Structure 1
Amino acid sequence: MRWSEFEFEPALLTNIQKANYTVPRKIQSLTFPLIKAGHDLKGHAETGSGKSAAFLLPIIDAVMKLKKGGHYKSRRCCPFALIVEPTRELTVQVYDQARKLAEECDVSVSRAYGMFLRHVNLRQISTDGCDILVGTPGRLCDFFQSKNLLCDQIKVLVFDEADQLLEDGFQAVLRQLNNVNNWPQPENRQTLLFSATFPLVVQNWADEWMRKDSMMVSNKRLVAANSRIKQKFLMVPNTAKKDVLLRLFQLELQTAKKRDPVNGKIRNTMVFVNTKRDADVVSTYLNQFDFNTTTINGNRPQEMREKALSDFRAGVYQIVVTTDVCARGHDLKDLDHVINMDLPASGEGIDDSFTTYVHRIGRTGRLQPGSATTFFDIQADGTMAEGFVQSLQEATQPVPDWLNKLVAREPIAGSGQVTDEELLGIL
């Protein structure tokens, strides 16, 4: 389909072109007509598929058309569309994307989240305007309960990354939001709920917020990896992971230098580990061998995390080592490679671990094909083998022989040592 088929306002189409959105993505083509027709919608698609633009573009277009027709007038501290995000990082990302798409469109965008001085946050919203307001549940609830923000003009309510909103225990805060005086009821607003994963608990929760005639757009599997991402698996014992990671980067750099002796370098890579300590340890280790590496984890203040991501985007660092604080939502268009040095912890169950894996590798493969490499310890990670086989089969990608044997409970040959030949095979 073409962008012109959706009859967006000319200024918005100009911004779409500036953003290099060549054609609508699948989730966008499916949801645009339904959102523009006013339906409540549950939208599901794999990470990196364009979910944010799927709701931002029709919202911006609606505000523009209503203003042009004289049916809507901006009011200070009174949003038209409210977008609820589970984290500060996602709030900042969606806010930035909305600002770019709404440039020169007479549509104001603001944000509201913690770790942002309350009075400064309110002053910025009042100054900038908030036709579209993006925020986290706690700060939004605070502002609406205290009547610093008014809700009587909200016509569109969006829950983004709904599964994480539930996982992070925001149900109680959202119920408080729903009980604010003059809060618009489902029949008086349009409710959109988007998520990369859509387990039954999320679908049931969505029904509490939506009109009974709500619609759902979904791909075939409710937890699915992006098929544009080439998934590779290496059998690596936990004790050897750090050395294998270093050797992988050394071989990649050697290969790149052979192709281009002057400018050859490794791909922009995000490495996932399970603990804050390991993030710092691995980052320090790689820096000792002259690989420009930074780290992002929950111990770092918000400003330092945003600075690290900004430096990574700018090419100051080629590697960022992180925990699951970066598993969702960060828009890193130039991220080429994701490495799961550790697989997600299985404390919440196999399904949740696989869901986290999908979100992790979804940091790449957004505007172009990406790569994901997973270090797999057969003792610690064996329970996830079946899910990975299914994921590879669905993406029509080859399944390692040892992974098939692990699922079939057949003996696996080999010393457990990773050879240079194996590492070169995933580059």
Structure 2
Amino acid sequence: MADTIDKLPTGEASSSSVEASITGENTEPTTTTTTTEKTKWGDVEDDDEEEANAVSELNSLSIKEEEKHESILDEPEDSNIKAVTSGDTPYTSASRFEDLNLSPELMKGLYVEMKFEKPSKIQAISLPMIITPPHKHLIAQAHNGSGKTTCFVLGMLSRVDPSLRQPQALCICPTRELANQNMEVLQKMGKFTGITAEVAVPESNQGATFARRAPVSAQVVIGTPGTLKKWMAFKKLGLNHLKILVFDEADHMLATDGFRDDSLRIMKDIKRVNPNYQVLLFSATFNETVKDFVQRTVESANQLFVKREDLALDSVKQYKVVCPKEQDKIEVIKDQIMELGDIGQTIIFVKTKVSASKVHKALAEMGYDVTSVHGSMSQEERDKIVKEFKDCLTQVLIATDVLARGFDQQRVNLVVNYNMPTKYETGEPDYEVYLHRVGRAGRFGRKGAVFNLLLENGDDKEVMEKIERYFGAQVKEIKSWNSEEEYKSALKEAGLLDE
């Protein structure tokens, strides 16, 4: 969403938690604390790391071309979204936000705060499904940077009764960074509604104060699964009035190597007291195994999917560079890509802290404002570094995959895969993580480039080949790793170097 997030007023809920009221004054958005528990990837990132119910009809929903207006979102024109509806509820694609019958307060937030002009394609198709009674479940996939966050944030805000001071909407995210980011979007979009919201992520200054805190009265809660599960276990998060449950990055939340157990437990606890809640699952990626499981778990859901070969972002140019040795990767970054290109902000993805340290040192010595973020940092350190980068105080962010998913910074137009994404257990390519990394550049259809740095000896080239086969795409190769002319040509093609 937008780069700049207005900070909203807060009211104390207890000595260890704060609830944010979504109104118009300016203060910092807040987080809440919990007691220590066994942590998983969504709470603290470690450096290493069948068939659905038959649907009754198939409706392809689209926006009529003549109804399209100018928009600040330059969305992919080939976003072929396949819509499968369950049941007989008719849905009409929303070419304007006015078609959604939203409250005046929400409309003001969309136009004044978010500065939107019209729905993006995924918003136009999914929002009627989300807010139209009988509020059926939705499984939705769309391109990175296409506006998915607005879909579920607006969906949550539209379902909340502002007069009922109880939790009514719950959003579960795999990382604290994504939870905080979604909270910022919700606070901005809901600025004029008076709806209250609270973020539930782990804090290092947790303690006995959590047990003494009052039950959550915020109407929207956004957090990571471990913290939310603890709140529920301690009877701090009531579920009786919950209307809508959102899984952001849903493929990871319901994958066997992700948060499936926690997610299913939360769903079961909600269903026990409130069987009529709505479930929304959003992600840019759903592999076939996860898709099959989701379709069986969330029954009779409306579905939106994009063909695998259509997922690659055409606005983001992808390149591969075969380097003779590890040190050459650093030379490529600092002497070719960064030196030649007209770069806004850059994210460099690495596998280990050692690699992060090498790249950090080399770029810092050249005068770049560089920061690094990884799972062994404290929560406060991670939050501080991410905020500095989002405030454009630093130019380069070196990160492990803690930031591969959902991180939205519109000034990022360069992503470097210093290490290719592979599964820790098998060494096989992690296709979903690759796509999410690519999606950090070229947000909302803006131009961007991704450089994949491959070692000549080792598994990198095979991993890259498998990724190309999986997505049915050929990644252009820089034939000579130290050819300035080839990099200039690539950067021009990507729109990162003037003619």
TM over 0.5: yes
1:28 counterpart = 2:123: yes
Range that drifts further, 193-202 or 370-379? 370-379
Verify the 8 A CA contact 2:167 2:219 in the aligned structure 1.
yes
Partner Cα separation in structure 2 for residue 392 and residue 142 of structure 1: 39
1:115 counterpart = 2:203: yes
Partner Cα separation in structure 2 for residue 179 and residue 391 of structure 1: 35
Verify the 8 A CA contact 1:350 1:383 in the aligned structure 2.
no
Partner of 2:78: none
Partner Cα separation in structure 2 for residue 289 and residue 101 of structure 1: 40
> Please, which of 259, 262, 278 is the counterpart of residue 355 of structure 2?
278
- Unaligned stretches of 5+ in structure 2? 1-94, 492-499
- Unaligned stretches of 5+ in structure 1? 68-72, 257-265, 403-413
1:229 counterpart = 2:316: yes
Verify the 8 A CA contact 1:234 1:373 in the aligned structure 2.
yes
> Please, which of 400, 406, 409 is the counterpart of residue 476 of structure 2?
400
Partner of 1:213: 300
Partner of 2:272: 183
How far residue 249 of structure 1 moved from its aligned partner, in angstroms, is: 4.5
Partner of 2:455: 377
1:15 counterpart = 2:109: yes
Instruction: Spell out, residue by residue over 1:347-390, the C-alpha distance to the aligned partner (whole angstroms, 9 max, x if none).
Output: 45687522211111111222323222222335422223445545
Partner Cα separation in structure 1 for residue 203 and residue 318 of structure 2: 36
Partner of 1:173: 262
Partner Cα separation in structure 2 for residue 122 and residue 15 of structure 1: 36
Instruction: Spell out, residue by residue over 1:233-275, the C-alpha distance to the aligned partner (whole angstroms, 9 max, x if none).
Output: 22323431111111125532xx65xxxxxxxxx4211111111
> Please, which of 471, 482, 485 is the counterpart of residue 418 of structure 1?
482
Verify the 8 A CA contact 1:45 1:51 in the aligned structure 2.
yes
SS in 2 for 1:74: coil
Partner of 2:383: 306
1:60 counterpart = 2:157: yes
Partner Cα separation in structure 1 for residue 486 and residue 324 of structure 2: 15
Matches within 5 A, 1:134-213: 134-165=222-253, 166=255, 168-180=257-269, 183-184=272-273, 186=275, 188-210=276-298, 212-213=299-300
Say if 1:183 and 1:118 are closer, same or farther in 2 by CA, change over 3 A. Answer: farther
Normalising by structure 1, we get a TM-score of 0.82
Q: Which has the higher contact order (CA 8 A, sep 6+)?
A: 2
Which structure: greater helix fraction? 1
Verify the 8 A CA contact 2:138 2:281 in the aligned structure 1.
yes
SS in 2 for 1:150: coil
Verify the 8 A CA contact 2:136 2:301 in the aligned structure 1.
yes
Partner of 1:363: 440
How far residue 106 of structure 1 moved from its aligned partner, in angstroms, is: 2.1
1:5 counterpart = 2:99: yes
Range that drifts further, 323-332 or 160-169? 160-169
Normalising by structure 2, we get a TM-score of 0.71
1:51 counterpart = 2:148: yes
Partner of 2:177: 89
RMSD over equivalenced CA pairs, Å: 2.8
Report the AA paired with residue 109 of structure 2.
N
How far residue 400 of structure 1 moved from its aligned partner, in angstroms, is: 2.9
Q: Report the identity percentage.
A: 28
Report the AA paired with residue 20 of structure 1.
K
How far residue 57 of structure 1 moved from its aligned partner, in angstroms, is: 0.7
Partner Cα separation in structure 2 for residue 235 and residue 358 of structure 1: 20
How far residue 200 of structure 1 moved from its aligned partner, in angstroms, is: 2.5
Partner Cα separation in structure 2 for residue 206 and residue 249 of structure 1: 41
Partner of 2:406: 329
How far residue 417 of structure 1 moved from its aligned partner, in angstroms, is: 4.0
Say if 1:178 and 1:357 are closer, same or farther in 2 by CA, change over 3 A. Answer: closer
How far residue 279 of structure 1 moved from its aligned partner, in angstroms, is: 0.8
Partner Cα separation in structure 2 for residue 417 and residue 61 of structure 1: 52
Verify the 8 A CA contact 1:236 1:376 in the aligned structure 2.
yes
Aligned residues, how many? 389
